[in-house]
């Protein structure tokens, strides 16, 4: 399987990078009190951060809002995932403990103000690519609902063979088909960085994410960097 970012993404969004954490043979069942505690601590740090009172203009969040606008996705009703998490936390709501893996994503996203998301690799039929949609792809919303077709030009993460979109709007909404379940054992976790976030920061966040996966989910964990000079990698 090849996992790639289309070269045009790097051309149009200068400085963008993605780290992918591949975790195989993990256990994602049950709830961890330690992870739940780390999530609550991350939420409290967000609430205590004065720079997040106007979170939409925070440079790390504004970068994604500007990117969304550039390819025609209104970030107000369709916010980047990290903004959605921050907004919920600042409203006083606690994030639910969905599973160990999802909780790890949320901890790292809140801590670093960067979008993280994951997909069950056993649902992939072809290759995975972050690219611009042509309008023929299909997307099933997380939690169910009517099938959708992303608009031509929207940045999507898709299965090349089936045309299934695993995430709409770059890092807006994950899909139902590849969602992380309690019985998920093989997963690809994406850590996305747009300036001012750097490739070096993305790598550090990926390493911290990998450490938490090893600690709480076990398995074999590897990290791959996707940049303009290395836009793809292969896994067996």
Q: Is 7 helix (H, G, I), strand (E, B) or coil?
A: helix
CA geometry: angle at 192 spanning 95 and 13, to 5°?
Answer: 135
Strand partners, 117: 190
Q: What is the pLDDT of residue 10?
A: 98
Both structure tokens of 44: 């409290």
For residue 236, give the nearest of 222, 217, 215, 219 by alpha carbon.
Answer: 222
Asked if residues 85 and 79 have their Cβ atoms less than 8 Å apart, the reply is no
For residue 106, give the nearest of 121, 96, 93 by alpha carbon.
Answer: 96
CA distance 69 to 62: 10
CA distance 159 to 119: 11
Q: Is 10 helix (H, G, I), strand (E, B) or coil?
A: helix
| ω into 196 cis (within 30 of 0) | yes
R_g (Cα) of the chain, nearest Å: 16
Q: What is the pLDDT of residue 236?
A: 83
Return the beta strands (E) in the chain as ranges: 2-5, 17-24, 116-120, 128-132, 155-159, 165-168, 173-174, 186-193, 220-226, 232-234
Asked if residues 127 and 1 have their Cβ atoms less than 8 Å apart, the reply is yes
pLDDT digits (tens, 9 = 90+) for 80-100: 999 999 999 999 999 999 999
Q: What is the pLDDT along the chain (236 residues), one digit of tens a residue?
A: 999 999 999 999 999 999 999 999 999 999 999 999 999 999 999 999 999 999 999 999 999 999 999 999 999 999 999 999 999 999 999 999 999 999 999 999 999 999 999 999 999 999 999 999 999 999 999 988 899 999 999 999 999 999 999 999 999 999 999 999 999 999 999 999 999 999 999 999 999 999 999 999 999 999 999 999 999 999 98
Sign of CA dihedral 120, 19, 191, 141: negative
CA distance 115 to 230: 21
Q: What is the chain's length?
A: 236
Q: What is the pLDDT of residue 144?
A: 84
| pTM exceeding 0.85 | yes
CA distance 69 to 75: 7
CA distance 117 to 81: 9
Asked if residues 95 and 83 have their Cβ atoms less than 8 Å apart, the reply is no
Q: What is the pLDDT of residue 145?
A: 87
Kindly list the structural domains of the chain, giving each domain's residue range(s) and its CATH number in brackets, ordered by start. Answer: 2-234 (3.50.40.10)
């Amino acid at each position: 399987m090849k996992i790639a970012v289309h070269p045009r993404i790097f051309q149009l969004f200068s400085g963008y990078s993605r780290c992918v954490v591949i975790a195989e043979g993990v256990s994602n069942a049950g709830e961890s009190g330690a992870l739940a505690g780390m999530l609550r601590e991350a939420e409290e740090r967000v609430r205590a951060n004065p720079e997040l009172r106007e979170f939409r203009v925070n440079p790390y969040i504004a970068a994604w809002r500007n990117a969304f606008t550039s390819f025609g996705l209104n970030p107000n009703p369709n916010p980047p995932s990290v903004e959605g998490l921050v907004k919920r936390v600042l409203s006083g709501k606690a994030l639910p403990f969905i599973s160990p893996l999802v909780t790890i994503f949320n901890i790292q996203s809140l801590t670093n103000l960067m979008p993280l998301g994951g997909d069950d690799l056993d649902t992939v039929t072809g290759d995975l690519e972050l690219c611009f949609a042509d309008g023929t792809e299909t997307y099933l919303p997380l939690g169910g609902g009517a099938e959708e077709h992303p608009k031509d030009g929207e940045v999507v993460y898709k299965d090349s063979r089936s045309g299934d979109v695993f995430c709409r709007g770059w890092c807006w909404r994950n899909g139902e088909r590849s969602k992380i379940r309690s019985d998920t054992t093989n997963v690809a976790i994406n850590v996305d960085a747009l300036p001012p976030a750097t490739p070096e920061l993305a790598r550090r966040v990926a390493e911290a994410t990998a450490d938490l996966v090893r600690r709480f989910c076990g398995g074999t964990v590897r990290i791959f960097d996707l940049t303009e000079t290395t836009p793809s990698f292969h896994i067996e």
